[in-house]
Amino acid sequence: MLEKQNELIELQKKRDQEKQNNEDAAIQATLRLRNPRTRSSSSSSSVTAASSPTVTAFMPVAKSSRKRAHSGRSSILLTESQKENVR
């Protein structure tokens, strides 16, 4: 009975380690896609299971540039003759 429990514990540890390795590989792949020029020589140099059990990757999101409708200045008012001169 004790042997079976130990076997189950070992299997669970192996599964957990494989799951962690897969998560680490996915994070590394994501980082490589975001920064293709900066590659590390070893695949697990920046992410290890012992130092960071849960790793949250920050994904920057581009914001649309909006033109400001009112920048604090008053609008320039032209008279009719000035408008004619502009045309």
**Alpha-carbon gap, residue 50 to 67, rounded angstroms:** 48
In angstroms, what is the C-alpha Rg of the chain?
30
| Contacts (Cβ under 8 Å, ≥6 apart) of 55 | 23, 24, 27, 47
The whole-number average pLDDT for the span 40-54 is 52
**pLDDT grade, residue 35 (50/70/90)?**
confident
> pTM above 0.95?
no
Token pair listed for 73: 């200045």
Enumerate the domain spans of the chain. Answer: 1-53
User: Is the pLDDT at 72 greater than 80, yes or no?
Assistant: no
User: Which ranges in the chain belong to alpha helices (H)?
Assistant: 2-34, 80-86
Give me the chain's average pLDDT, please: 76
The whole-number average pLDDT for the span 56-63 is 69
What is the biggest distance separating any 2 CA atoms in the chain, rounded to whole angstroms? 102
